[in-house]
Structure 1
Amino acid sequence: MADPRDIAILVLYLLALRKRSESDTSDSTWQTITATPTVEGLSRPLIEAEAPNGVDRSVPTRVVKLISPALTDSMVVELVSTVNNIQIDDYGDTASVIVDRFFGLGGRGDLSALSTSNSRQSALLINAAATTLESDTTVFDPACGIGGTLLRLYNKQQNLALIGNDIDGVAVTIAQLHAYLAGIPATFTHSDSLTSEIHGELRSQTIITEPPMGMRPDRDVQQNVLARAGFDAAGALTSDELFLYMALSNLTPGGYAYVLTSTAAGFRGASQQIRQELVARGLVEAVIQLPSRLLPYSGIPTLLWVLHRPVGDPETSLLIADASTVSDPQDEIAQWLTDLRAGREIAIPARRLSLAELITNDGSIVPPALLRAELEEDEVREDLKKAMSALSSSVKKLRDLDLDEQIVERVPSSRSFTNLKQLIDTNAITRIRKPFLEGRDNAPKDGIEAFMLSPAKSNRQPKKVKATEADLWIQDGDIVVPLHSMGSAWIFKADGNNWVVSPSIIVLRVNDPDLDPQYLVSCINAPFNEPATKGSAIPRRDFKQIQIPELDHDQQQQLTASLEKLSSLKTGAEDLAQQAAAAEAAVLNAVRFDNRPA
Structure 2
Amino acid sequence: MIVNKFINLKRRLYMLNTVIETQMQQLASKSLDSSNKFGYDKSTKILYCYLLWAKKTSNYDLVKEVTKELSFEEKFDLKTIEFGEEYTEDDCVRAVREIVDNNNGINEWMYSSPSSLNKLVTKIINLKDGESFCDFGSGDGKLLLNVFDAAHKNKFNCKYTGYEINAKQVLVSKCLMCMLNVDTTIINCDFMRDIHRGQFDKGYLYPPFGLKYSIDEWDSLKGIYGDLFTSRTESELLYLLKALENIKENGKLVTVFTTGAAFRSSGMLARKYLVENNFVEGIISLPARTLGFTAIPIDFWILKKDQKKSNVIKMLDASNNILDKGSKIAVELDVSTIIEEYNNNAKCVSIEDIKKNEYSLSINIYEVEKLTDSILNPVNIEDVCKIEKGSQYTISKFKDQISNTPTDYQLLTSINIQDGIVDYDSLPYVYPDPKLLKFKLEEGDIVVTTKSTVVKTFVANDLPDRNIIVTGGMIILKPDTSKVNPTYVKMFLDSSIGKSEFKSIIKGNTIGFVPFKEFKERMIISCPALEKQNKLSEQYNNMLWTINALTKQLADTKDELANIIENSLNEGE
CA-CA distance at 1:240 after TM superposition: 2.0
Q: 1:115 touches 1:122 (CA, 8 Å); kept in 2?
A: no
Change (3 A) 1:357 1:62: same
Residue 129 of structure 2 is aligned to residue 135 of structure 1: yes
Range with greater deviation from structure 2 (1-10 or 284-293): 1-10
Spell out the pairing of 1:235-384 with structure 2 (5 A cutoff): 235-312=231-308, 314-328=309-323, 331-333=333-335, 336-337=338-339, 340-341=342-343, 344-345=344-345, 350-372=346-368, 373-374=371-372, 375-377=374-376
Q: Which residue of 2 aligns with 1:478?
A: none
Change (3 A) 1:272 1:409: closer
CA-CA distance at 1:195 after TM superposition: 0.7
Per-residue CA deviations over 1:309-365 (Å, capped at 9, x if unaligned) read: 0133x2253122222233359754565456545xx32xxxx4222333223222222
Query: Per the alignment, in what secondary structure is the counterpart of residue 238 of structure 1?
Result: helix
- Across the two proteins, how many residue pairs are aligned to each other? 369
Q: Which residue of 1 aligns with 2:183?
A: 185
Q: TM-score normalised to the size of structure 1?
A: 0.53
Q: 1:223 touches 1:232 (CA, 8 Å); kept in 2?
A: no
Q: 2:287 touches 2:320 (CA, 8 Å); kept in 1?
A: yes
Could you tell me which amino acid in structure 2 is paired with residue 326 of structure 1? N
| Partner of residue 16 from structure 1, selected from 44, 50, 56 | 50
Q: Percent identity?
A: 17
Q: Which residue of 1 aligns with 2:174?
A: 176
Residue 148 of structure 2 is aligned to residue 154 of structure 1: yes
Residue 72 of structure 2 is aligned to residue 67 of structure 1: yes
Q: 1:128 touches 1:333 (CA, 8 Å); kept in 2?
A: no
Could you tell me which amino acid in structure 2 is paired with residue 67 of structure 1? F
Q: 2:288 touches 2:319 (CA, 8 Å); kept in 1?
A: yes
Change (3 A) 1:396 1:61: closer
Spell out the pairing of 1:400-419 with structure 2 (5 A cutoff): 411-413=563-565
Q: TM-score normalised to the size of structure 2?
A: 0.55
Residue 127 of structure 2 is aligned to residue 144 of structure 1: no
CA-CA distance at 1:128 after TM superposition: 2.2
CA-CA distance at 1:51 after TM superposition: 2.1
CA-CA distance at 1:284 after TM superposition: 0.6
Spell out the pairing of 1:98-137 with structure 2 (5 A cutoff): 98-100=99-101, 104=103, 106-107=104-105, 109-115=106-112, 119-130=115-126, 133-137=127-131
Q: Which residue of 1 aligns with 2:486?
A: none
Q: Which residue of 2 aligns with 1:563?
A: none
> Which residues of structure 1 form unaligned runs of 5+?
30-48, 416-550, 556-598
Could you tell me which amino acid in structure 1 is paired with residue 313 of structure 2? L
Query: Per the alignment, in what secondary structure is the counterpart of residue 72 of structure 2?
Result: helix
Change (3 A) 1:297 1:331: closer
Per-residue CA deviations over 1:12-35 (Å, capped at 9, x if unaligned) read: 344334434544xxx4x8xxxxxx
1:144, 1:363 → 2: CA distance? 30
Query: Per the alignment, in what secondary structure is the counterpart of residue 354 of structure 2?
Result: helix
Q: 2:100 touches 2:142 (CA, 8 Å); kept in 1?
A: no
Q: 2:262 touches 2:360 (CA, 8 Å); kept in 1?
A: yes
1:252, 1:291 → 2: CA distance? 31
Change (3 A) 1:279 1:385: farther
Change (3 A) 1:231 1:251: farther
Change (3 A) 1:93 1:398: same
Could you tell me which amino acid in structure 2 is paired with residue 12 of structure 1? I
1:224, 1:334 → 2: CA distance? 42
Per-residue CA deviations over 1:412-471 (Å, capped at 9, x if unaligned) read: 4369xxxxxxxxxxxxxxxxxxxxxxxxxxxxxxxxxxxxxxxxxxxxxxxxxxxxxxxx
> Which residues of structure 2 form unaligned runs of 5+?
1-33, 324-330, 378-496, 498-525
2:92, 2:535 → 1: CA distance? 65
Q: 2:135 touches 2:162 (CA, 8 Å); kept in 1?
A: yes
Per-residue CA deviations over 1:452-492 (Å, capped at 9, x if unaligned) read: xxxxxxxxxxxxxxxxxxxxxxxxxxxxxxxxxxxxxxxxx
Query: Per the alignment, in what secondary structure is the counterpart of residue 300 of structure 1?
Result: coil
Q: 1:120 touches 1:330 (CA, 8 Å); kept in 2?
A: yes
2:93, 2:227 → 1: CA distance? 42
Q: 2:228 touches 2:269 (CA, 8 Å); kept in 1?
A: no
| Partner of residue 542 from structure 2, selected from 389, 392, 404 | 392
Could you tell me which amino acid in structure 1 is paired with residue 130 of structure 2? D
Change (3 A) 1:165 1:228: farther
Could you tell me which amino acid in structure 2 is paired with residue 182 of structure 1? L
1:8, 1:394 → 2: CA distance? 54
Residue 199 of structure 2 is aligned to residue 203 of structure 1: yes
Q: Which residue of 2 aligns with 1:568?
A: none
Q: 1:276 touches 1:358 (CA, 8 Å); kept in 2?
A: no
CA-CA distance at 1:92 after TM superposition: 3.1
CA-CA distance at 1:231 after TM superposition: 7.6
Change (3 A) 1:146 1:226: same
Could you tell me which amino acid in structure 1 is paired with residue 122 of structure 2? I
Query: Per the alignment, in what secondary structure is the counterpart of residue 67 of structure 1?
Result: coil
Question: CA RMSD for the aligned pairs?
Answer: 4.2
Q: Which residue of 1 aligns with 2:400?
A: none
Q: Which residue of 1 aligns with 2:35?
A: 2
Change (3 A) 1:393 1:219: closer
Q: 1:9 touches 1:173 (CA, 8 Å); kept in 2?
A: no
